[in-house]
Chain A
Amino acid sequence: MERDITLRVNGRSYDGKVEPRLLLCDFIRHDLTLTGTHVGCEHGVCGACTVLLDGVPVRSCLTFAVQANGHEVMTVEGLSSDPANLHPLQQSFWEAHGLQCGFCTPGILMTVLPFLEENRDPSEDEIRTAISGNICRCTGYQNIVDAVKLAASKGEAARLRASVDTEDSPFDQDGGVL
């Protein structure tokens, strides 16, 4: 009953064989070993597992891997997976102390990135509304809000999906086979 799927993650194409019930978060984390995406509640409330599906934030714990077949996924590693070379959005969170334990952070970054694309100069209220579907238990949100403001102030750079390959034709390179 396994299904073949092909999807693009952070610009790279992957083929996989998955059970229909396999969650996208488990596929990303365990099959692709992209463990930056975290699972906090498995019922779609906390937002820790947020990834971009064709550019739109989704809960990867409420999405089946088969639903991502033929689609483009972006995870936190797609911003930058190199600690020595942070994406401007990641850099802003570092500078503003926008994280403590860091478990919710990848989901928040993946929520904020498309938000900043839509809203280039957000107010505090708009930022708070944008991240209200992401629970953080450590920071009290204040420094997260400040980190988003800081990123917005950096302009275009923070909105770039830096390492994502934006070529039009999908699945034509790398061909990572699981």
Chain B
Amino acid sequence: MTSTIPESDRSENAAVHHTGETRSFGKRQKRNEDPRLLTGQAQFVDDVHIPGMLHAAFKRSDYAHAHLVSVDVEEARSMPGVVAVYVAADLGDYWQPSPLLVPAPPAQHVVFNERTAGPLARGKVRYVGEPIVLVIAESRYLAEDAADVIMIDYEPLPVVVDPAAGLMDGAPLVHEDVGSNLAAHVIQSKGDYEVARAEADLIISRHFDYDRGSAAPMETRGIVAQWDALAHHLSVWDSTQAPIVIRNMLAGMLGLSQRQVRVVAPYIGGGFGPKIMMPYPEEALVPWAAMRLNRPIKWIEDRQENFVAMTQERGQSHDAEIALTKDGIILGVKDVFLHDNGAYDPYGLTVPLNTQTHLLGPYIVPHYYTEFRAVFTNKIIVTPYRGAGRQHGVFVIERLLDAAAKELGLDPTEIRRRNLIPPDQFPYNNEVIGQDFTHLTYDSGNYEPVLNTAMKMIGWEEFRSSRPSVDGTKRQGIGLVMYVEGTGIGPYEGARIQVEPTGKVTVVTGVGTQGQGHYTVFAQLAAEVLGIAIDDIYVSTGDTAQFNWGTGTFASRGATVAGSAVHSAAVMVADKAKKLAADELEAAPEDIELVDGFAQVRGVPGARISLSELANRANPLRGAVQPGTEPGLEATAYFGPPMQATAAGAHAAIVEVDTETFDVKILKYVVVHDCGRVINPMILEGQVHGGVAQGIGNAFYEQLVYDEDGQLLNASFMDYLVPTSMDVPRIDVGHEETPSPLNPIGVKGAGEAGAIPVGALFAQAVEDALRGTGVEINVIPLNPSKLWELVRQARLDMQGLP
């Protein structure tokens, strides 16, 4: 293999360490993006430096709910280095409520009250952190100085913190014109739960609470905007998961053609969901101000801001019931829950819909009734965060099954086994409407091997048959939970692949990347089809100048949807190359194979032509071509799945609880995961590890604590505990493989799976360790003091004391 690009022109994808390997699907391929990241040569948004650049800072609400009586920015305007100060009134017609990103689903019973926020608060504020004033200055230091002297006169209003209280008569109203705090009310069903209830031998009812956390990506949000007045062109660098949609929105809002706006999501320091929210107020304002002032402007969120200005997730409370036979067979489930929506609902109902669908898990649930109310509260907006509502559904069904198993004297793994959907029943229709608005259908699956492998890897039988004896204050427990994850939803993504005259290949796609290894995985997919080395492929993601269409990186869909588009484009290019080569080599196209950068006649050594040469011939400078010929060895393909691809898995753990301190140590952690065909096991395992780490944080360390006034009390990494290397154990990952029939590469998504069932597992394993105390864990997040409280309460309950 030859390389003709000078060293200095090579991208990170094309440069380092040629391996010559072209068959790479399924290999532990090292990542193309890493050398730049490791040497500090990868550009994140805050690394963008433009001469003459100004800096933005925001004055945000100190109150969760208050009328804005006055906002005095005079002193701020006169501060040295301050270029502009904007309040809502200064925005004129640019002040518009942000668009509704996801409409209400076509479910059986749906009420949806759309209320979205304008870029700066006017009249009243509805959560602590809501932006009120934008300050632009010559440096960030000066912008913050000016923001500090802004005087705001608030008239505090009673606040809604707890969703249940928010629905009571006489509750303060987050949006007066709605008439209540009801953001949405959705009822869905499958079969008739009352039938199940009437036939049941056992009915278990429980209340479950799941509280808020922060995605806390290591890179906060940020945006740089530059208006080129001579070219009439706006360039934006944005730490977003959806650059194309942001581009389209900005063009619309600013009265520009989409072709006049370029949005680049460069290297992104973690997204995990909240960076798919759009446009945030800051994203709407910074480009607007850059055009107005004709100066480049940068805004980088600081960490404390991130806690009050980036969207959050997870606040729900459930009243759930399961009806079973005496053999532990599920007859039906009923779940009624409240969803804490925060102050506005621009992201629609994705999160609670995911809860509804994912409660059903890998189990046969013949009758299902599910109803939720989403409630406006005086807290930051809720939008998807890794798992996106799936956690709650999994927590509810898994905890109900655990309670039922105890009642029936069944092993937790046995009650699960008895209810698994058998492999011959796929596609399996669960009828309710999911986040992609299709009727929930599982495309493929084989769940029992997942369960068996997880039991084997964790040593289930050994642990249960010879439990370690209590060691002083330490007690061990074991747990195993299962889940499915709807992944890779539509609508679509696209990719364009070009073989350049040098023989190098470019792959471009619209999805942004936040560390998932897209630069590598997409290169692997193209290399596999085109028979070229990974190192000869340049991948571009997240730049609207490179690709015009797409929706974004969310719902574990990068590999599934964009990956399928890459594969399809590669197949089209390969076909084109084979046809051209067939003409050149006087052979039939079906006899041509692509190997090591050449198109060659199968079985005829020497009868070959390089892709480089074919690319040149496909783009002649003079002469005539046949009608209908498209230039270049290039193709664009789009892929839109008919519905989600359903991945599945089991997590198991052995934990040790110290009954004096109530600290919990995870001694062993096992994940068995089935996400269809695996493109790169190394990257997949990394995704799983990271998901589990976030799940562990969610289960035991991280909780956003709001007081009764709606103030977030722990808005720093000192007080909001993100797990460290001391808290996350080694994770053993096992793979099962049930290909998806929904896409050409047979893959299912894997980005979120690691995070989803950890709360349920933690509860089961800790409960097992504390068996005999009467403790039942129906709340997440836990922490040592909460565990202590639960044990104390259980002791009082057993003694019949209040």
Contacts and interface: CB of A to CB of B under 8 A. Distances in A.
Interface of A: 19, 21-22, 29-30, 33-43, 45-46, 48, 75-77, 79-84, 86, 90, 93-95, 97, 99-106, 109, 127-129, 131-145
B567 to A, nearest CB: 23
B37 interface: yes
B37 A99 contact: yes
- Which 5 pairs from chain A and chain B are nearest by CB? A36-B40, A101-B515, A103-B269, A102-B37, A140-B689
Interface stretch (B63-71, B161-169, B351-359, B724-732): B724-732
Nearest to A90: B38
A142 B303 contact: no
6 contacts: A29-B46, A37-B40, A38-B219, A39-B46, A76-B38, A145-B725
Contacts of B726: 128-129, 132
B690 A109 contact: no
A128 B693 CA distance: 14
User: Dominant SS at the A interface?
Assistant: loop
Interface in B11-39: 12, 15-16, 30-31, 33-39
Given A41-B303, A100-B515, A103-B270, A94 B35 contact: yes
Contacts, number: 190
Interface in B234-286: 267-270, 272
A144 B606 CA distance: 47
Interface residues of B, number: 60
A22 B34 CA distance: 31
A142 B689 contact: yes
Given A21-B141, A41-B303, A104-B218, A141 B693 contact: yes
A103 B44 contact: yes
A38 B44 contact: yes
A48 B272 CA distance: 18
Contact of A140 (B36, B218, B268, B690): B690
A99 B216 CA distance: 17
B267 A101 contact: yes
B15 A139 contact: no
A94 to B, nearest CB: 5
Given A90-B35, A137-B690, 19 more contacts: A29-B47, A34-B40, A35-B43, A36-B41, A38-B218, A41-B303, A48-B218, A76-B40, A77-B39, A84-B35, A97-B30, A138-B270, A139-B690, A140-B690, A140-B691, A140-B692, A140-B693, A142-B728, A142-B731
A165 B639 CA distance: 52
B686 interface: yes
Contact of B725 (A80, A97, A99, A144): A144
A97 B30 CA distance: 7
Name which of A35, A77, A100 has the most chain B CB atoms within 10 A of its CB. A100
B219 A103 contact: yes
Contacts of B12: 83
A175 to B, nearest CB: 22
B7 interface: yes
A84 B7 contact: yes
Contacts of A102: 33-34, 37-38, 42, 267, 269, 515
Name which of B7, B219, B517 has the most chain A CB atoms within 10 A of its CB. B219
Nearest to B722: A135
Nearest to B696: A140
A137 B272 CA distance: 10
Given A84-B16, A105-B38, A128-B725, A38 B718 contact: no
Contacts of A75: 40
Given A129-B726, A135-B722, A140-B731, A79 B46 contact: no
A83 B515 contact: no
Contact of B270 (A41, A42, A137): A137
Contact of B717 (A33, A43, A86): A43
B58 to A, nearest CB: 15
Contact of B36 (A22, A48, A83, A109): A83
Contacts of A140: 686, 689-693, 728, 731, 754
A24 to B, nearest CB: 14
A90 B690 CA distance: 20
A3 to B, nearest CB: 15
B378 interface: no
A142 B671 CA distance: 14
Contact of A100 (B304, B516, B754): B516
A75 B38 CA distance: 12
Interface in B649-676: none
B553 interface: no
A12 B491 CA distance: 52
Name which of B34, B220, B687 has the most chain A CB atoms within 10 A of its CB. B34
Contacts of A131: 725
Contact of B38 (A19, A37, A86): A86
B515 A94 contact: no
Given A35-B46, A42-B303, A84-B16, A142 B30 contact: no
B317 interface: no
B49 A30 contact: yes
Contacts of B30: 94-95, 97
Nearest to A43: B716
A7 B268 CA distance: 31
